[in-house]
C-alpha cells in the first residue's frame, strides 16, 4: 500500500498542498487558514491514516523532539521509577524518550551515548557509572545539552540533579540511634561513586555526632559483581563480633534483599533480634513478614526537573543547575525501640 502524502490529502480535501502543509505543521493560525478548512484537512488526514515523515521533518527543522535517557541498570527500582517519571514529563512537553541501560558498564555507556548522538537526539539525561568521567567529557565535546541524574562527579562542571545522599544516610542512622541502637552496621558497595561515598560519610558523621565510638568492623563493603556471596560474609562479620550489631543499615535496596535472605536462612528475627533499615525500597520487600523502614527518593520530582531543565538547555538558555533533593524516611516495622 502506497504511503499517503500531502498531495493525496490536498486532492481529497480540494485544497492546495501548501494549505495542507500549513495545517499539519501547526501553522494554520499563523498562515490565516480558514478554520473550517483546517478542520476538513485534519479530518481527511485522519481518514487516510496519514503518517508524517519525522526524519524529513527533523532534517528540515533541525529538531527531532527526541531525548536520550541512559540508566545504570533497568532492573533497579530506581531506574524504572525515574524512567517512568521522565517519560510522563516528556510526553507533556511533546517529547519522545529513547533509552537504554548501561548495566553499570563504561563501554556500554559510551556506545549508548554515541548511538543517541548519531540519532540526533536534542538532549541527554544520563545516570553515569563508576569512573565514567571520560564518557561525560565525550558528551561535552559533542556540544549536546545534557543533565546528570542521581550521580555526579564533583571534579566535572556539569548540570546535575541528585539526592542529598549525605543527609539521607545521616538521618537514617540518626533514626536508629534515636531508637536506642548503639551498635549499628552499614553495608555498602566498595566503589568510587561519589553518591555512595556520601552515604558512608553521612553514616559515620551521625555516629560521631552522637558520641558513638565507631568499630571498623561495622562498615562492610562488598563488590557489586559478587554481591550474592559477599553480603552473607558481611552479615557473618557483624553478627559474630563479641558485641554483635543490633541494627543494620543497607546502602541500597539490592543489598537489603541479600541481607534479608541471609536473615531468613539463619532464622534471625526482624526486628526482635536485629533492626533493618534500607536506603531505597523494593517491591520485593512486600514479601517479607516485617515492613521495611526505608529512605525514599523523590523520583517523580527528580524526573520532572530533569526534563524541564533539559528543555531549558535545549532552548539555549545557559543555566547552571546543581540540585540536591531530600529523601523521606518511611517508617516500617523492621526497626525496634530498645
Residue 136 pLDDT exceeds 80: yes
Q: Are 176 and 249 in contact (CB under 8 A)?
A: yes
Between β-strands 146-149 and 219-222, what pairing exists: parallel, antiparallel or unpaired? unpaired
- Quote the pLDDT of residue 55: 47
55-108 per-position pLDDT tens digit = 455 545 456 689 999 998 887 788 989 999 999 999 999 899 999 999 999 999
- Quote the pLDDT of residue 229: 97
Q: Are 169 and 202 in contact (CB under 8 A)?
A: yes
Compute the distance between CA of residue 20 and CA of residue 126 in angstroms, rounded to an integer.
39
Helix segments in the chain, DSSP class H: 6-13, 17-24, 35-47, 54-61, 77-92, 106-118, 133-142, 165-178, 194-209, 227-239, 253-265, 299-314
328-338 per-position pLDDT tens digit = 999 999 999 87
- Quote the pLDDT of residue 273: 96
C-alpha separations of 199 from 83, 128, 220 in Å:
23, 17, 13
Nearest one of 151, 236, 225 to 187, comparing CA atoms: 236
184-239 per-position pLDDT tens digit = 999 999 998 999 999 999 999 999 999 999 999 999 999 988 999 999 999 999 99
- Quote the pLDDT of residue 53: 61
Half-sphere exposure of residue 234: CA atoms within 13 angstroms, side-chain side: 28
pTM for the complete prediction? 0.81
Domains of the chain: residue spans and CATH:
6-52 (1.10.260.40), 63-163+299-326 (3.40.50.2300), 165-297 (3.40.50.2300)
More confident residue, 214 or 37: 214
The grid coordinates listed for 20 are 495542507
Half-sphere exposure of residue 209: CA atoms within 13 angstroms, side-chain side: 12
174 burial class (0-12, 13-18, 19+ CB within 10 angstroms)?
Answer: middle
Quickly state the pLDDT bin for 319 (edges 50, 70, 90).
Answer: confident
Give me the helix-helix angle, 77-92 and 299-314, nearest 10°.
50
More confident residue, 4 or 237: 237
Mean pLDDT of the chain: 91
263-300 per-position pLDDT tens digit = 999 999 999 999 999 999 998 999 999 999 999 999 99
- Quote the pLDDT of residue 31: 75
10-34 per-position pLDDT tens digit = 888 898 888 888 888 777 777 788 8
- Quote the pLDDT of residue 59: 44
Residue 4 pLDDT exceeds 70: yes
Nearest one of 6, 113, 4 to 48, comparing CA atoms: 4
Contacts of 230 (CB under 8 A, 6+ apart): 222, 223
Question: Looking at 60-74, 123-137, 168-182, which range is the least confident one?
Answer: 60-74
- Quote the pLDDT of residue 284: 92
Q: Are 180 and 338 in contact (CB under 8 A)?
A: yes
Q: Are 15 and 47 in contact (CB under 8 A)?
A: no
- Quote the pLDDT of residue 18: 82
- Quote the pLDDT of residue 110: 93
Amino acid at each position: 500500500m502506497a504511503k499517503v502524502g500531502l498531495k493525496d490529502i490536498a486532492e481529497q480535501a480540494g485544497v492546495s498542498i501548501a494549505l495542507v502543509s500549513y495545517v499539519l505543521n501547526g501553522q494554520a493560525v499563523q498562515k490565516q487558514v480558514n478554520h473550517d478548512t483546517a478542520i476538513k484537512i485534519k479530518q481527511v488526514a485522519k481518514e487516510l491514516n496519514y503518517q508524517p515523515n519525522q526524519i524529513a521533518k527533523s532534517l528540515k527543522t533541525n529538531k527531532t523532539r527526541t531525548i536520550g535517557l541512559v540508566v545504570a541498570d533497568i532492573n533497579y527500582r530506581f531506574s524504572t521509577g525515574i524512567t517512568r517519571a521522565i517519560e510522563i514529563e516528556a510526553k507533556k512537553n511533546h517529547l519522545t524518550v529513547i533509552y537504554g541501560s548501561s548495566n553499570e558498564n563504561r563501554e556500554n555507556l559510551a556506545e549508548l551515548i554515541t548511538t543517541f548522538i548519531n540519532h540526533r537526539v536534542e538532549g541527554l539525561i544520563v545516570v553515569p557509572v563508576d569512573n565514567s568521567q571520560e564518557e561525560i567529557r565525550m558528551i561535552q565535546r559533542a556540544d549536546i545539552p545534557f543533565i546528570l541524574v542521581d550521580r555526579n562527579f564533583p571534579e566535572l562542571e556539569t548540570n546535575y540533579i541528585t539526592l542529598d545522599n549525605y543527609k539521607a544516610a545521616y538521618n537514617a542512622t540518626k533514626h536508629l540511634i534515636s531508637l536506642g541502637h548503639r551498635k549499628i552496621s552499614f553495608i555498602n558497595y566498595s566503589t568510587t561513586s561519589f553518591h555512595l561515598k556520601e552515604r558512608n560519610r553521612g553514616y559515620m558523621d551521625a555516629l560521631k555526632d552522637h558520641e558513638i565510638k565507631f568499630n571498623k568492623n561495622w562498615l562492610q563493603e562488598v563488590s557489586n559483581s559478587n554481591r550474592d556471596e559477599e553480603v552473607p560474609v558481611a552479615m557473618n562479620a557483624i553478627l559474630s563480633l563479641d558485641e554483635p550489631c543490633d541494627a543494620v543499615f543497607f546502602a541500597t535496596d539490592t543489598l537489603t534483599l541479600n541481607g534479608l535472605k541471609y536473615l531468613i536462612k539463619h532464622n534471625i528475627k526482624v526486628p526482635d533480634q536485629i533492626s533493618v533499615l534500607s536506603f531505597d525500597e523494593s517491591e520485593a520487600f512486600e514479601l517479607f513478614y516485617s515492613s521495611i523502614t526505608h529512605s525514599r527518593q523523590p523520583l517523580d520530582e527528580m524526573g520532572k526537573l530533569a526534563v524541564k531543565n533539559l528543555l531549558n538547555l535545549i532552548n539555549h538558555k545557559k543555566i547552571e543547575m546543581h540540585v540536591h533533593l531530600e529523601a523521606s524516611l518511611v517508617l516500617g516495622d523492621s526497626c525496634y525501640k530498645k
